[in-house]
Amino acid sequence: MANLKEIRTRISSVQKTKQVTAAMKMVSAAKLKKAQDAIVQIRPYADKLHEILSNLTGSLSNSDDNLYGVQRKPSKVLLVAITSNKGLCGAFNSNVIKQVNQLAENTYREQNQKGTLSILAIGKQAYAILKKSHNVIGEQNRIFDDLNYANVSEIASSIMDAFVAGEYDRVDLVYNQFKNAGVQVLVSEQFLPIEQEKETEMVHSEYIFEPNQEDILRDLIPKSLKTQFYKAMLDSFASEHGARMTAMHKATDNASDLIQDLNLTYNKARQAAITNEILEIVSGANALAQ
C-alpha cells in the first residue's frame, strides 16, 4: 500500500485536474450557447436555399452555364476534413479522421492509389494526423479565430474555382453535424458537383427568372454553395463545444469519484499506521513491565 505522502500528493494532483476540467466545461458551455444560436438560425435558410438550388439545377441540367453541376468521372477527388484546433473533446476529431481514412481506403481507393486523392484540412487536429499518410494540400486553422461568413466564403470560393478549372472532379465534406449538446452526427456529404434531385423526388415548380436565367446561375448558385459550406463550419464549431463540454463534464465526475477512492485509501492507510503505532507502544510497554 502506498504511503500517506504519496496518497496526499495524488489527491492534490487530482483536485487540481478537477478544477481545470470544471473550468473548461464552463467555458465550453458559454461558447456553445452562441454557436448553437448561430447554427439554429442559419439552418432553415440554408436548407431551403439548397432545396431551391437542387430543383433549379435539375431544370437547367442541359445548360452550359451550370458550371458547378458538371458531372465528371471522379478521377480527382478532394476531401475537406473539418475538425478543431484543440483537443480534449472526446471522439469529435478522431471520428472525422477515421471517416476520411475509411473513404480513402474504400470509396476512393482507386484515386488514393493513383495519388489523385487530396485532402484539405480545416483544423490543426486533422492536419497533424492526416499529413502523415495522405496528400494534404493545405490547412485552414486560423478560420476559427474569427468564424464568419466572409472568411468562410473565401475558402469555399477557392474550392469552387478549383472545381470549375478541372482540378477536382468531386469534392466531399466530412464533419460533425450538431444535433444537441450531447450528440454529434458524423456527416460525409457531396459538396461539388451539385447533386440534382431525382425525377421522382423533384418538386416541379414554374420558376420566373428575374432579371434573367444567366444572372440567377451566376449569383444564386455560388451563394447557395457558400452558404452550405458556412453551415457545415457552424455545425462543426457548435459540435466541438458540445463535445468538449460533455467530455469535461465526464472528466470532472471521474475526478470526483477518484478523489473519493483516494480519500478512502488514505483513511485506511492512516488507520493502519495508527494501529501499528499503538501495537508498538503496547509491545514496548509490555516488554518494560516484564
* Segments of the chain scoring below 50 in pLDDT: 61, 200-202
Cis peptide before 193 (omega within 30 of 0): yes
Cβ neighbours of 33 (radius 10 Å): 12
- Determine which one of 80, 89, 194, 225 is catalytic: 89
CA-CA distance, 125 to 85, in Å (whole number)?
Answer: 6
Grid cell for residue 118 = 487530396
**Residue (of 82, 53, 90) closest to 69 by Cα position:** 53
pLDDT computed for residue 173 by the predictor: 97
Q: Could you confirm whether 199 is annotated as catalytic?
A: no
Grid cell for residue 117 = 486523392
CA distance 186 to 174: 7
CB count in 10 Å sphere of residue 5: 8
Characterize the bridge pairing of strands 117-122 and 136-139.
parallel
Which three three-digit cell numbers place residue 19?
A: 478544477
User: Bridge partners of 139?
Assistant: 121
pLDDT digits (tens, 9 = 90+) for 90-115: 999 999 999 999 999 999 999 999 99
Residue 200 has a pLDDT of: 40
Q: CA geometry: angle at 44 spanning 158 and 126, to 5°?
A: 40
Which pLDDT belongs to residue 59?
58
C-alpha cell at 266: 488514505
User: Bridge partners of 184?
Assistant: 178
The separation between CA 222 and the C-alpha centre of its own chain, rounded to angstroms, equals 25
Instruction: DSSP for 175-228, please give it.
Output: EEEEEETTEEEEEEEEEESPPPPPTTT--------SS-HHHHHHHHHHHHHHHH
Look at residue 201 and give its three-state secondary structure: coil
3 state SS of 92:
helix
The DSSP secondary structure of 225-242, one letter per residue, reads HHHHHHHHHHHHHHHHHH
Strands 183-192 and 170-180: antiparallel
Domain 42-247, CATH: 3.40.1380.10
